[in-house]
Amino acid sequence: MSDKHLFVFGGGAPFNESLAKKFGAWASKGLSKVVILFIEQEGWQEYMTKYTDQIGLHDVDQFVYFALDASPSTDLVEQLQSATGVIISGGDTELYRDYIVETKLGTIIKALYTEGVPVAGFSAGALISPTVCVIPPIDNRANEHLFLKGLGLINHCVISVHFSKWDEEKNLLAALSKTNLSTGYGIDDASGIYFKNERISETAGQIYFYYGKE
Protein backbone atom coordinates (compact mmCIF):
# COMPACT_ATOMS: atom_id res chain seq x y z
CA MET A 1 0.00 0.00 0.00
CA SER A 2 1.34 3.45 -0.95
CA ASP A 3 1.76 6.25 1.55
CA LYS A 4 -0.71 9.13 1.16
CA HIS A 5 0.49 12.74 0.99
CA LEU A 6 -1.76 15.74 1.62
CA PHE A 7 -0.61 19.37 1.85
CA VAL A 8 -3.08 22.02 3.05
CA PHE A 9 -2.41 25.75 3.14
CA GLY A 10 -4.23 28.60 4.88
CA GLY A 11 -3.90 31.05 2.02
CA GLY A 12 -2.98 31.18 -1.63
CA ALA A 13 0.35 30.32 -3.17
CA PRO A 14 3.30 30.20 -2.93
CA PHE A 15 4.35 26.99 -1.25
CA ASN A 16 6.49 27.30 1.83
CA GLU A 17 10.02 26.35 0.74
CA SER A 18 10.31 23.20 2.87
CA LEU A 19 6.83 21.93 1.94
CA ALA A 20 7.50 22.61 -1.75
CA LYS A 21 10.57 20.41 -1.44
CA LYS A 22 8.50 17.61 0.11
CA PHE A 23 5.74 17.93 -2.50
CA GLY A 24 8.30 17.97 -5.31
CA ALA A 25 10.03 14.89 -3.94
CA TRP A 26 6.81 12.87 -4.11
CA ALA A 27 5.61 14.39 -7.40
CA SER A 28 8.87 13.79 -9.29
CA LYS A 29 8.96 10.01 -9.15
CA GLY A 30 9.77 9.09 -12.75
CA LEU A 31 8.20 11.34 -15.42
CA SER A 32 6.73 14.23 -13.44
CA LYS A 33 3.52 16.08 -14.30
CA VAL A 34 1.72 18.32 -11.83
CA VAL A 35 -1.85 19.29 -12.69
CA ILE A 36 -3.07 22.60 -11.24
CA LEU A 37 -6.85 22.91 -10.87
CA PHE A 38 -8.14 26.48 -10.75
CA ILE A 39 -11.15 28.65 -11.55
CA GLU A 40 -10.23 30.94 -14.41
CA GLN A 41 -10.10 34.68 -13.79
CA GLU A 42 -8.16 37.60 -15.19
CA GLY A 43 -4.42 37.33 -14.60
CA TRP A 44 -4.44 33.61 -13.84
CA GLN A 45 -1.40 32.90 -16.03
CA GLU A 46 0.85 35.19 -13.97
CA TYR A 47 -0.51 33.76 -10.72
CA MET A 48 0.40 30.19 -11.67
CA THR A 49 4.09 31.02 -11.37
CA LYS A 50 3.55 31.29 -7.60
CA TYR A 51 3.08 27.50 -7.66
CA THR A 52 5.45 26.48 -10.42
CA ASP A 53 8.49 28.55 -9.42
CA GLN A 54 8.86 26.81 -6.07
CA ILE A 55 7.99 23.26 -7.17
CA GLY A 56 10.10 23.61 -10.29
CA LEU A 57 13.17 23.86 -8.08
CA HIS A 58 12.57 20.25 -7.02
CA ASP A 59 12.67 18.20 -10.23
CA VAL A 60 9.10 18.82 -11.42
CA ASP A 61 9.36 19.83 -15.05
CA GLN A 62 5.84 19.62 -16.50
CA PHE A 63 2.73 21.54 -15.44
CA VAL A 64 -0.81 21.22 -16.79
CA TYR A 65 -3.28 24.04 -16.12
CA PHE A 66 -6.83 22.74 -15.65
CA ALA A 67 -9.48 25.49 -15.67
CA LEU A 68 -12.48 24.08 -13.83
CA ASP A 69 -16.03 24.26 -15.12
CA ALA A 70 -19.15 22.11 -15.10
CA SER A 71 -18.08 20.12 -18.20
CA PRO A 72 -14.31 19.47 -18.23
CA SER A 73 -12.79 18.41 -21.53
CA THR A 74 -11.81 14.80 -22.19
CA ASP A 75 -8.21 15.87 -22.75
CA LEU A 76 -7.94 17.57 -19.38
CA VAL A 77 -9.55 14.62 -17.60
CA GLU A 78 -6.99 12.31 -19.22
CA GLN A 79 -4.18 14.66 -18.16
CA LEU A 80 -5.43 14.51 -14.58
CA GLN A 81 -5.55 10.71 -14.65
CA SER A 82 -1.82 10.59 -15.41
CA ALA A 83 -0.76 13.30 -12.93
CA THR A 84 2.12 12.72 -10.55
CA GLY A 85 0.97 15.64 -8.39
CA VAL A 86 -2.27 17.62 -8.00
CA ILE A 87 -2.74 21.20 -6.79
CA ILE A 88 -6.20 22.58 -5.98
CA SER A 89 -6.05 26.36 -5.99
CA GLY A 90 -7.96 28.94 -3.98
CA GLY A 91 -10.95 31.12 -4.75
CA ASP A 92 -14.69 30.50 -4.56
CA THR A 93 -14.90 27.50 -2.22
CA GLU A 94 -18.47 26.58 -3.17
CA LEU A 95 -17.55 26.46 -6.85
CA TYR A 96 -14.45 24.36 -6.21
CA ARG A 97 -16.60 21.95 -4.25
CA ASP A 98 -19.28 21.83 -6.97
CA TYR A 99 -16.72 21.17 -9.71
CA ILE A 100 -14.63 18.59 -7.81
CA VAL A 101 -16.41 16.84 -4.92
CA GLU A 102 -18.80 14.06 -6.01
CA THR A 103 -17.71 14.41 -9.64
CA LYS A 104 -15.49 12.37 -11.94
CA LEU A 105 -12.61 14.70 -11.09
CA GLY A 106 -13.02 13.99 -7.39
CA THR A 107 -13.03 10.25 -8.02
CA ILE A 108 -9.79 10.55 -10.01
CA ILE A 109 -8.11 12.71 -7.35
CA LYS A 110 -9.03 10.25 -4.58
CA ALA A 111 -7.70 7.33 -6.63
CA LEU A 112 -4.42 9.14 -7.34
CA TYR A 113 -4.08 10.09 -3.68
CA THR A 114 -4.56 6.48 -2.60
CA GLU A 115 -1.82 5.49 -5.07
CA GLY A 116 0.66 7.89 -3.45
CA VAL A 117 0.28 10.95 -5.69
CA PRO A 118 0.67 14.10 -3.54
CA VAL A 119 -2.30 16.46 -3.38
CA ALA A 120 -2.02 20.10 -2.26
CA GLY A 121 -4.94 22.38 -1.45
CA PHE A 122 -4.64 26.15 -1.02
CA SER A 123 -7.42 27.98 0.85
CA ALA A 124 -10.54 26.67 -0.96
CA GLY A 125 -8.55 23.60 -1.98
CA ALA A 126 -7.74 22.97 1.68
CA LEU A 127 -11.35 23.42 2.79
CA ILE A 128 -12.72 20.81 0.39
CA SER A 129 -10.05 18.21 1.27
CA PRO A 130 -11.48 16.70 4.51
CA THR A 131 -14.52 14.43 4.78
CA VAL A 132 -16.51 17.44 6.00
CA CYS A 133 -16.04 20.66 4.04
CA VAL A 134 -16.71 23.50 6.47
CA ILE A 135 -17.20 26.89 4.80
CA PRO A 136 -17.45 29.86 7.18
CA PRO A 137 -20.00 32.66 6.73
CA ILE A 138 -17.37 35.06 5.39
CA ASP A 139 -16.63 32.66 2.53
CA ASN A 140 -20.05 31.99 0.98
CA ARG A 141 -22.88 33.90 -0.63
CA ALA A 142 -25.48 32.90 1.99
CA ASN A 143 -23.29 34.22 4.84
CA GLU A 144 -23.99 31.02 6.75
CA HIS A 145 -21.81 28.34 8.33
CA LEU A 146 -21.96 25.54 5.74
CA PHE A 147 -21.25 21.89 6.45
CA LEU A 148 -20.94 19.99 3.17
CA LYS A 149 -19.47 16.77 1.92
CA GLY A 150 -15.77 17.06 1.15
CA LEU A 151 -13.29 14.96 -0.80
CA GLY A 152 -12.49 12.75 2.17
CA LEU A 153 -8.71 12.82 1.80
CA ILE A 154 -8.45 13.23 5.57
CA ASN A 155 -11.10 12.08 8.01
CA HIS A 156 -10.42 13.11 11.59
CA CYS A 157 -10.49 16.90 11.38
CA VAL A 158 -12.01 20.17 10.32
CA ILE A 159 -9.86 22.82 8.67
CA SER A 160 -10.07 26.59 8.89
CA VAL A 161 -8.10 28.82 6.49
CA HIS A 162 -7.06 32.49 6.66
CA PHE A 163 -7.41 31.76 10.37
CA SER A 164 -6.13 34.98 11.96
CA LYS A 165 -7.07 37.19 9.02
CA TRP A 166 -10.71 36.05 9.17
CA ASP A 167 -10.80 35.75 13.01
CA GLU A 168 -11.96 32.14 12.71
CA GLU A 169 -11.50 30.74 16.23
CA LYS A 170 -15.20 30.91 17.15
CA ASN A 171 -16.25 29.32 13.85
CA LEU A 172 -13.68 26.53 14.16
CA LEU A 173 -14.81 25.68 17.70
CA ALA A 174 -18.44 25.64 16.52
CA ALA A 175 -17.50 23.34 13.65
CA LEU A 176 -15.72 20.95 16.01
CA SER A 177 -18.78 20.82 18.24
CA LYS A 178 -21.19 20.25 15.35
CA THR A 179 -19.16 17.57 13.57
CA ASN A 180 -17.90 15.72 16.68
CA LEU A 181 -14.52 15.33 14.97
CA SER A 182 -11.38 15.05 17.05
CA THR A 183 -9.22 17.94 15.81
CA GLY A 184 -9.53 21.38 14.31
CA TYR A 185 -6.63 22.99 12.45
CA GLY A 186 -6.57 26.76 12.09
CA ILE A 187 -4.10 27.66 9.35
CA ASP A 188 -2.86 31.20 8.80
CA ASP A 189 -1.93 32.71 5.46
CA ALA A 190 1.59 31.74 4.33
CA SER A 191 1.28 28.60 6.49
CA GLY A 192 0.64 24.93 5.79
CA ILE A 193 0.52 21.36 7.05
CA TYR A 194 1.87 18.22 5.41
CA PHE A 195 -0.06 15.09 6.37
CA LYS A 196 1.49 11.70 5.65
CA ASN A 197 -1.11 8.97 5.98
CA GLU A 198 -3.41 11.48 7.70
CA ARG A 199 -0.87 12.26 10.43
CA ILE A 200 1.05 15.51 10.66
CA SER A 201 4.55 15.09 9.28
CA GLU A 202 5.58 18.73 9.02
CA THR A 203 4.17 22.22 9.48
CA ALA A 204 5.22 25.62 8.20
CA GLY A 205 4.20 29.01 9.51
CA GLN A 206 1.50 29.51 12.13
CA ILE A 207 -0.89 26.62 12.87
CA TYR A 208 -3.48 26.53 15.68
CA PHE A 209 -4.69 23.26 17.18
CA TYR A 210 -8.10 22.66 18.76
CA TYR A 211 -9.50 19.40 20.10
CA GLY A 212 -13.01 18.03 20.20
CA LYS A 213 -14.66 15.64 22.61
CA GLU A 214 -13.30 12.41 21.13
CA atoms within 13 A on the CB side of 88: 31
DSSP class of residue 57 equals: G
Alpha-carbon span 152 to 130, nearest angstrom: 5
Ordered mean pLDDT values, 10 residues apiece, the chain (214 residues): 94 90 88 93 89 88 93 92 96 96 97 97 98 96 95 97 97 95 96 97 97 72
Strand ordering across the sheet containing 157-160? 157-160, 183-187, 207-211
* CATH homologous superfamily, domain 5-211: Class I glutamine amidotransferase (GATase) domain (3.40.50.880)
pTM: 0.96
